[in-house]
A and B are shown apart, each in its own frame.
Chain A
Amino acid sequence: MMYFTPLKTAVILGLCVLGTILCIPNLFPSPAPWLPWRQVHLGLDLRGGSYLLLEVDMKAVVKERLDSMVDGVRQALRPGSIFYQALDAQPDQNRILLKLRDSTKLDAALAAIRPLIAAEGPTGTPEFDLASTPDGTIVLTLSPVALNARARGAVQQSIEIVRRRIDETGVVDPQITQQGETRIVVQLPGISDPNRIKELLGKTAHMTFQLVDETANANAGGTPPPGVDFLPMQDNPGQKIAVRRRIDVDGGDLTDARAGNNPQTGEWVVNFTFNSIGSRRFADVTRTNVNHRFAIVLDGKAISAPVIREPITGGRGQISGSFTAASANDLAVLLRAGALPAPLTVVEERSVGPELGADSIRAGAISLAVGFILVIGFMATFYGLFGWFANVCLVVNLVLMLGIMSLLQATLTLPGMAGILLTLGMAVDANILINERIREEQRLGRPPLSALEHGFTRAYNTIFDSNVAAFLAHVMLFIFGSGPVRGFAVTITVGIATSMFTAWMLTRLLVSHWYVARRPQLLPV
């Protein structure tokens, strides 16, 4: 128990040295890019920044899918002259309801619809479940599997778009991660007012080019004719415009968008370029619709509806519509980054300014220093030399904790700093247990070496049992906690592990070397 082979000694000391080396990257920035330079990150509450929790609107994802399916069904039924009383998407129940006018055409209708659901579906299985009743009612239900796949896809795609949009703003080192099934965490170091980012993320930026129905009067009120929507104008929402539902060209086919000035009028515009598919479609539509109006629709609002003067074949175009420099630039950013598959809502926001962060670091550092001195003083006073063994271990423990946290690239938060301090207070518990036990064994009349042996062995069981219980509580905190609280759980769990190592291995090593050197008749515990 008290004898260490040279190899064992080397391993224990080696681990301590390794811990120290792992701490070095925290002291200064990486000197060379090829060096593995793992540091502890400061949490947003310490360095200032914003944390946004975004929720992907799954209802909108479902609604969009159902709407496009309704369009598909409408087109599939047209050639066979199958008429219906009702064809509605019911997003609340994830289904489409179709009621035929003539129930004898049920088989024909089913035959027309079946290819639609067979062809679709990212999971390989049909995306919709088809059910019908003899009275001519057909129900298309989005299957749960397909729904999940679509939700996953929507969140993944949203993350990608969010990243591109944030990158455009030049925020350094943003972190964008998924949380749960439908949420996205955005962390923006150094940004204490995330308003602009929130504005950029608050738009889906789905842009489409649709023909204007010039026969319908949108401002007279009433219901729009089939296949037409009355959309508000962007800069004057009271004014409406009749737009055909059919999407001629989609903003997804844009390859570039830049804000610029129109040289003639001097007003701000957004210039865009299509990819080859977009160019071709744009050319086709403009060729066949010269002298008709073409609406540019963004998120359900018409930005403008210019008259097509001549076919546009070059795949380039321009959007004008009373922009300012900032709004033209924002639109260009949004178009370049692409459309979000569904709207995002900010459900939680936490932003901390750099001043408060600095205050917190100072408060944490002072507490840490004072607490450290108090604990060391206590151990020295109440345990003498053996207290100093514990104090050496305490310092090593701190170094090892920082080393492991650097290796994990863990985040240090203000509660995390509190966690470090508490860990130091609890870490000496193992040493107190050992010291008390050795003292007890010696008082029972054992000679020094035997007292040490028994003391360490017996204390070990207690240390193990008492630490596992505390360890479990903090693992739970990590699993169920969020944000800074998780940082607290990380520091404590790491601290419990390192303190068991220092108390059990390092203290024993120190005591054993001291004993061999001094051979005392009585242990000073």
Chain B
Amino acid sequence: MFMRPTFRLVRDNTKIQFMRGRIMGLVVSAILSTASVILFFYPGLNLGIDFSGGIVMEVRTPGPADFGQIRTALAAEHIPEQGVQQFGDPSEVLIRLGAQPSEAAVQQAVTRVRTALEKAVSGVKVLRTDAVGASVSAELFRNGLLALGISLLMILVYIWFRFEWQFAVGAVVTLILDITKAIGFLAITRIEFDLVMVAAILTILGYSTNDKVVVYDRVRENLRKYKTLPLRDLIDLSINETLNRTLGTSMTVFLASLPLALFGGESISGFAWVMLFGIVVGTSSSIFIAAPILLFLGEKRLRRESAPAPAPAVRS
């Protein structure tokens, strides 16, 4: 086992005609992304307190938690029943309080909840308190969007400089389709959308770009190598040549994320599930979306640019 590879993911010299499914791929992707955008508005994302403002407290009781007792104690502090939930262990309770009218009110609420809990349940331990005021949550949301937007822009400019504009547009359109699907995934699974999710989406962005650049890089190389091959066949060839790498890297990143989803604990597993989803989407979009877009945009232009310039007309 220390010498030759035991298995190959895909055998060499595959000749799959991916471009035959290009319409299908784009249609499916467009439908999924449209559905995701609809899901984004209805029912919308499950915003975490980073972005909605409010209070989350995680507490651990000495034995299994008596929810009735805790709910009664907190009802006096105007915390609705659904604000008290089990969290992982039966002895762990998550208390949630929505946005408060002012920053000072948030702080007062934290103190009130803490005091009420300590009075109601003896030996209770507050494991975690997050309290975010309205001004900060709005700012965090804006910064998250800004990070996303600027990253997309920089990727666009970078690929445009290193390749041709068709590549840059193809990549960024595909990335936007990828991100909308990730948001749809968040809306369906009701995984809380917080700052860590912004990190997950940016990581998917980075990973997915990386994947597209590898395919594009091969297309660029083959454009120089095979001057007469139709772009459609050339793209198919490039995808086939890089297939082992594309799948190999997705596998390793997938394998690295999987334990985080399984053992990473409540706060990181949501991140990891979104990553896993993003890896699958990002990998398939490199093949079925980014490449067809390149074909549509570049059918005429890319070939002409790389074809040898016509000989200058000789004056008679």
Contacts and interface: CB of A to CB of B under 8 A. Distances in A.
Interface residues of B, number: 85
Contacts of B4: 384-385, 524
Contacts of B218: 462
B131 A348 contact: yes
Given A422-B256, A462-B214, A480-B143, A378 B3 contact: no
B60 interface: yes
Contact of A363 (B155, B244, B263): B263
A472 B133 contact: no
Interface string B110-150: 11001000000000011111111101100010011011101
Contacts of B213: 462, 465-466, 469
A484 B256 contact: no
Interface stretch (A160-168, A217-225, A250-258, A367-375): A367-375
A482 B195 CA distance: 8
A interface majority secondary structure: helix
A477 B110 CA distance: 30
B147 A352 contact: no
A472 B158 contact: yes
A469 B260 CA distance: 24
A193 interface: yes
A42 B263 CA distance: 20
A386 B248 CA distance: 14
B313 interface: no
B224 to A, nearest CB: 12
A433 B214 contact: yes
Contacts of A424: 256
A302 B6 CA distance: 83
Interface in B250-288: 251-260, 262-265, 267-268, 271-272, 275
Contact of B155 (A364, A368, A387, A473): A473
A60 to B, nearest CB: 14
A496 to B, nearest CB: 9
Interface string A350-361: 111101100110
Contact of B244 (A355, A364, A436): A436
B111 A472 contact: no
Nearest to B149: A476
Given A363-B263, A418-B264, A472-B158, A379 B195 contact: no
Interface in A135-193: 192-193
B8 A382 contact: yes
Nearest to B55: A349
Contacts of B242: 436
Interface stretch (A111-119, A234-242, A485-493, A505-513): A485-493
Given A381-B5, A485-B196, A485-B199, A55 B103 contact: yes
B191 to A, nearest CB: 15
Nearest to B57: A351
B96 to A, nearest CB: 15
Given A349-B107, A384-B6, A472 B264 contact: no
A429 B127 contact: no
B interface majority secondary structure: helix
B133 A347 contact: yes
Given A367-B260, A371-B260, A374-B258, A426 B210 contact: yes
Of the candidates B6, B12, B254, B263, the one having the most CB atoms from chain A within 10 angstroms of its own CB is B263
A379 B58 CA distance: 40
Contacts of A375: 252, 255-256
A481 B198 contact: yes
B16 interface: no
B260 A418 contact: yes
A470 interface: yes
B41 interface: no
A214 B10 CA distance: 95
A421 interface: yes
A383 interface: yes
Contacts, number: 258
Contacts of B7: 381-382
A465 B140 CA distance: 30
A198 B256 CA distance: 41
Contacts of A26: none
Nearest to B133: A347
Interface string A457-471: 010011001111111
A432 B248 contact: yes
Interface stretch (B32-40, B201-209, B303-311): B201-209
B315 interface: no
A130 B248 CA distance: 71
A52 to B, nearest CB: 10
Interface string B217-241: 1100100000000000000000001
Nearest to A468: B158
Contacts of B3: 384-385, 524
A27 interface: no
Interface in A24-82: 45, 53, 55
A476 B147 contact: yes
Contacts of A481: 143-144, 147, 195, 198-199
A349 B245 contact: no
A470 B198 contact: no
Q: Which 9 residue pairs spanning A and B have beta carbons closest together?
A: A425-B256, A470-B206, A480-B147, A363-B265, A370-B259, A425-B253, A473-B206, A469-B209, A374-B255
22 contacts: A55-B103, A346-B103, A346-B106, A346-B107, A347-B136, A349-B129, A356-B58, A356-B128, A370-B262, A375-B255, A378-B251, A385-B3, A415-B196, A422-B253, A428-B252, A429-B245, A429-B252, A466-B213, A470-B206, A474-B202, A474-B203, A485-B195
Given A353-B126, A356-B127, 11 more contacts: A55-B135, A345-B107, A346-B106, A350-B131, A367-B264, A375-B256, A381-B1, A384-B3, A426-B207, A429-B252, A476-B147
Interface of A: 45, 53, 55, 192-193, 195, 198, 345-353, 355-356, 359-360, 363-364, 366-368, 370-371, 374-375, 378-388, 414-415, 418, 421-422, 424-426, 428-429, 432-433, 436, 439-440, 443, 458, 461-462, 465-474, 476-477, 479-485, 488-489, 492, 524-525
